[in-house]
């Protein structure tokens, strides 16, 4: 163990946190009523500890981001060394720094040849904000300023800023703050389990793609700038699309000259068993936002990879692109990301994910015999367990999200972190785990499912 347990007064800390810390994505009434947040104190590998001394298996890798696992000293040392050399300098106005230069080249080297240019940001939300500005400016440079509509999917998640939350398809988010902003249209998500009805998976994939074409025709193809989608929708409930879906989406976008944005914020950096989700799902994107796994969450950093097609217009037409952040290409964050990628490559972690994923699929897949589990699906180290009251018809329990919440709490009681997206339990574990940890996780998950079943037995068909 490389971690240090400090002598903390947790009760006092939780009170202070409740008094002063305004938490993201939180119901403040219930946080106050329940006596505050769970304080996480330290972590190692795939395990986190809370202030009460509970040790939990983190099957979410934080928020889908700690891909290499917790406790890697090399990353802390990379940040320390860089902060001594140069803690900050900007990358605006024709200036650069060594780690930003090296990281741009490194990220580009992990991608298909056409992605030579990398723009740095601090988060996935900023990556997608950047893309909306950059793509609209690209079309303006090409003399088509009216091409500004972005099409995305319902239950897609692209961030929490005004435009990235608008791109996202989360109704609850749109219900606050006057979203979505104009010139964004949403189409059906390729969720066979929930929306497929009697259709076969492959037919349903084509059906969902047809919804995109219908929307393009309604908006007017000449007005559409880009289609944005996560190769596998993460926060929407790990929606692994039918095999027919992406090829058809791609055909439709090409037909109308619409750019494709593959949001790799979750799927990127090995999560699906290849470096990029677009490789796993056979997509050829024009522009790629990334964050999370770029630094395994050790420091905030994101990026946008831009293909030659788009870049050539920027270089040809010239004129300043008025966009950037104080911390675009922050030296310490870039140094940590470089070290993270070095470890991923030296330890062949993407191969590890690909090789171990059938085992994970089998171990977690065995839960599909459970009375309230409708489906278990995985792709690489990304997956979901669907909770249903009727296994045959895939019918949900009443009050969507209630049973997911119960199950999440039972997971925690059993020393396991999985996230509930409504009644879909999702997981995205760190890459550093082996077979024994997967076995341990499956045992804990079954106990949590059993406890949930006890709560809702009378409702189950």
> Which residues sit at the interface with ligand PXG, rule CB under 6 A?
63, 123-125, 128, 157-159, 230, 234-235, 263, 265-266, 291, 419
How far apart CA 398 and CA 458 sit, in angstroms, is 12
Q: Checking DSSP bridges between strand 55-58 and strand 302-307, what pairing results, if any?
A: unpaired
Which residues is 149 bridged to in the sheet?
Answer: 224
CB of 265 or CB of 283, closer to ligand PXG: 265
8 Å CB contact between 289 and 265: yes
Shortest spacing between CB 267 and ligand PXG, in angstroms = 8
Nearer to ligand PXG, 75 or 304 (CB): 304
Minimum CB–partner distance for residue 157 and ligand PXG (Å): 5
Q: 310: Cβ–Cβ under 8 A, 6 or more apart, which residues? A: 134, 135, 138, 259, 286, 287
Phi and psi at 338, nearest 5°, equal -60, -45
Q: d(Cα 108, Cα 118) in Å, to the nearest integer?
A: 7
Which of 273, 434, 436, 437 shows the shortest CA–CA distance to 353?
A: 273
Contact 378, 353 (CB under 8 A): no
Task: Measure the CA–CA gap between 31 and 385, rounded to whole angstroms.
Answer: 27
Closest CB to ligand PXG among residues 38, 144: 38
Q: Which is nearer to ligand PXG, 385 or 456 (CB)?
A: 385
Cβ-based nearer residue to ligand PXG, 111 or 456: 111
Distance CA 387, CA 391 (A): 9
Strands 416-417 and 419-421, by their bridges, are unpaired
Name residue 390's beta-bridge partners: 395
> Least distance to ligand PXG from the beta carbon of 230, Å?
5
Cβ proximity of 343 and 68 under 8 Å: yes
Strand ordering across the sheet containing 47-50: 40-44, 47-50, 55-58, 416-417
Nearer of residues 154 and 446 to ligand PXG, judged by Cβ:
154
Hey, what are 144's tokens?
């088509």
How far apart are CB 208 and ligand PXG at their closest, in Å?
Answer: 18
Pick the closer one to ligand PXG by CB: 158 or 389: 158
Residues 263, 158 contacting (CB under 8 angstroms): yes
Q: Minimal CB distance to ligand PXG: which residue?
A: 124
The number of CA neighbours under 13 Å toward the Cβ of 64 is 27
What do you get for the CA distance between the two ends of the chain, in Å? 47
Select 124 or 404, whichever has its Cβ closest to ligand PXG. 124
- Structure token pair of residue 2: 């490389």
Q: How far is the CB of 328 from ligand PXG (least distance, A)?
A: 14
The smaller minimum CB distance to ligand PXG, of residues 276 and 453, is found at 276
């Amino acid at each position: 163990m490389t971690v240090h347990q400090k002598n903390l007064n947790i009760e006092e800390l939780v009170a202070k946190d409740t008094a002063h810390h305004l938490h993201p994505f939180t119901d403040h009434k219930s946080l106050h009523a329940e006596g505050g947040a769970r304080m996480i104190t330290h972590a190692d590998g795939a395990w986190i500890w809370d202030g009460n001394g509970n040790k939990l298996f983190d099957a979410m890798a934080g928020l889908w981001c700690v891909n290499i696992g917790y406790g890697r000293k090399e990353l802390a040392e990379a940040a320390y060394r860089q902060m001594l050399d140069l803690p900050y300098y900007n990358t605006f106005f024709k200036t650069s720094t060594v780690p930003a230069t090296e990281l741009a080249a490194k990220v580009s080297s992990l991608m298909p040849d056409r992605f030579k240019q990398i723009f740095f940001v601090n988060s996935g939300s900023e990556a997608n904000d950047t893309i909306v500005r950059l793509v609209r400016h690209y079309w303006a440079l090409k003399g088509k300023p009216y091409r500004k509509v972005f099409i995305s999917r319902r239950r897609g998640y692209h961030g929490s800023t005004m435009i990235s939350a608008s791109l996202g398809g989360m109704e609850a988010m749109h219900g606050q703050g006057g979203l979505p902003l104009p010139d964004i249209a949403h189409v059906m998500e390729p969720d066979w389990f929930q929306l497929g009805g009697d259709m076969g998976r492959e037919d349903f994939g084509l059906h969902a793609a047809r919804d995109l074409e219908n929307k393009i025709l309604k908006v007017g193809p000449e007005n559409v700038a880009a289609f944005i989608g996560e190769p596998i929708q993460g926060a929407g409930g790990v929606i692994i699309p039918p095999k027919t879906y992406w090829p058809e989406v791609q055909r439709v976008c090409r037909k109308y000259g619409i750019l494709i944005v593959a949001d790799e914020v979750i799927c990127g950096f090995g999560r699906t068993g290849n470096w990029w989700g677009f490789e796993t799902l056979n997509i050829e994107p024009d522009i790629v936002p990334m964050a999370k796994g770029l630094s395994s969450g050790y420091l905030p950093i994101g990026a946008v990879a831009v293909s030659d097609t788009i870049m050539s217009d920027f270089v040809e037409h010239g004129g300043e692109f008025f966009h950037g952040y104080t911390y675009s290409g922050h030296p310490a964050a870039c140094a940590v990301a470089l070290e993270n990628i070095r470890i991923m490559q030296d330890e062949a972690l993407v191969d590890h994910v690909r090789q171990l994923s059938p085992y994970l699929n089998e171990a977690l897949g065995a839960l599909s015999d459970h009375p309230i589990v409708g489906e278990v699906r995985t792709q690489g180290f990304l997956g979901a367990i669907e909770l249903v009251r009727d296994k045959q018809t895939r019918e949900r329990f009443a009050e969507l999200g209630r049973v997911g919440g119960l199950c999440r709490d039972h997971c925690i009681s059993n020393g396991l972190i999985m996230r509930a997206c409504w009644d879909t339990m999702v997981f995205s574990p760190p890459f550093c785990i082996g077979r024994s940890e997967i076995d341990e996780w499956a045992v804990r998950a079954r106990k949590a499912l059993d406890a949930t079943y006890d709560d809702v037995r009378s409702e189950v068909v």
